[in-house]
């Protein structure tokens, strides 16, 4: 016998607002639930579970990166809400969902805690399943990072990369400092704060690998009659011990002597040569260490020097999340 329960437009609209599902899906769910609002939500949730099960092996490499900071700027969170296509990732409703999830994430310290948190009467994990049914694509939290400090700032690059940074104290124009640093992190992809954080074994293996690549390139450049690349002995300040620097200075003096430069002017030339030696032999630091990178807004200074210009403040940590 055909179901005769009359479903009003107001009821459909109410369910649509509650779930984000399309009008026809909401109407069908209400008909199936014989007008019972809570049962209709359950119908839509079960549909979401079926869609989620079918799409479990899909890659959710598109989506939106979000950063949220609490009211007193002492805690920040960065998350990635993943989906399958760029089309969905740019959708206004999807971006709002990502923003709403970011606000909830701000109150939790782990991804597990966050997924179990309340989202309008269901858990965040259940909301993701429900919206998988609504949208028709696998949704997932692909990244979750939190940070606490005396001051936390953030930067989000076109919903693709989000960065948060912690500072040790609140100084004049701290908002500008924090935003500039977060922008640097988002843009240059640092993985650690300083070369002092590197594992010596990692530096050793990376040195070997990088030298091998340059030597291989030089074989081809030599064959083509082009200038060869400099082959560094070192790639990080962590390798430049006092003994290494002292030897580099002696080598520089020997060069100046061989060039016939008068000894009385060596003191004017040596600092530049040592600066060049350090620059040539710290390529890993410049790539991966935030404080050792050239500052993107003024490449004549390092990030460390830029931070120093604000006075008594230090970077205590940072987090970066990105799609994929």
Long-range CB contact pairs, 299-307, < 8 A, 24+: 303/181, 303/184, 306/180, 307/177, 307/181
Residue with tokens 């450049």: 221
| Portion of the chain with pLDDT greater than 90, in percent | 61
Domains of the chain: 9-54 (1.10.8.10), 62-194 (3.30.479.20)
Q: Which two tokens stand for residue 271?
A: 């600092």
pLDDT at 3 over 60: no
Cα–Cα distance for residue pair 181/259, rounded to 1 Å: 43
Dihedral in degrees, nearest 10, Cα atoms 42, 44, 48, 54: 110
Mean pLDDT of 160-169: 96
Mean pLDDT of 96-101: 95
Q: Three-class SS of residue 306? A: helix
Cα 186 from Cα 205, distance rounded (Å): 26
Residue 52 has pLDDT above 70, yes or no: no
pLDDT of residue 231: 85
**Is pLDDT above 90 for 181?**
yes
The residues near 132 (Cβ < 8 Å, ≥ 6 apart) are: 48, 51, 52, 55, 138, 139
Asked whether the whole model's pTM tops 0.75, one would answer yes
Contact 237, 287 (CB under 8 A): no
Mean pLDDT of the residues in the chain? 89
């Amino acid at each position: 016998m055909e179901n005769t329960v009359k479903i009003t437009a107001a009821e459909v609209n109410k369910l649509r607002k509650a779930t984000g599902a399309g009008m026809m899906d909401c109407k069908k769910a209400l008909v199936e639930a014989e007008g019972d609002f809570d049962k209709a939500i359950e119908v839509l949730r079960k549909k979401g579970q079926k869609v989620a099960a079918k799409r479990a092996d899909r890659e959710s490499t598109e989506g939106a990166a979000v950063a949220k900071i609490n009211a007193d700027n002492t805690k920040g969170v960065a998350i990635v809400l993943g989906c399958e296509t760029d089309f969905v990732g740019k959708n206004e409703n999807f971006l709002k969902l990502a923003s709403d999830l970011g606000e909830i994430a701000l109150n939790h310290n782990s991804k597990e805690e966050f997924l179990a948190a309340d989202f309008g009467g269901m858990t965040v994990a259940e909301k993701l399943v429900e919206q998988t049914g609504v949208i028709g694509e696998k949704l997932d939290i692909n990244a979750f990072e939190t940070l606490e400090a005396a001051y936390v700032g953030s930067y989000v690059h076109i919903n693709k990369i989000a960065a948060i940074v912690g500072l040790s104290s609140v100084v004049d124009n701290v908002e500008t400092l924090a935003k500039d640093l977060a922008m640097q992190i988002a843009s240059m992809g640092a993985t650690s704060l300083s070369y002092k954080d590197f594992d010596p074994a990692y530096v050793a293996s990376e040195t070997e690998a990088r030298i091998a690549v340059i030597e291989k390139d030089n074989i081809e450049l030599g064959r083509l009659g082009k200038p060869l690349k400099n082959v560094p002995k070192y790639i990080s300040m962590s390798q430049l011990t006092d003994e290494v620097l002292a030897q580099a200075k002696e080598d520089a003096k020997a060069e100046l002597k061989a060039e016939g430069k008068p000894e009385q002017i060596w003191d004017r030339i040596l600092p530049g040569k040592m600066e060049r030696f350090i620059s040539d032999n710290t390529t890993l630091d410049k790539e991966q260490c935030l404080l050792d990178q050239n500052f993107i807004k003024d490449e004549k200074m390092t990030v460390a020097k830029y931070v120093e210009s604000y006075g008594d403040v230090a970077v205590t940590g940072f987090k970066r999340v990105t799609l994929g």
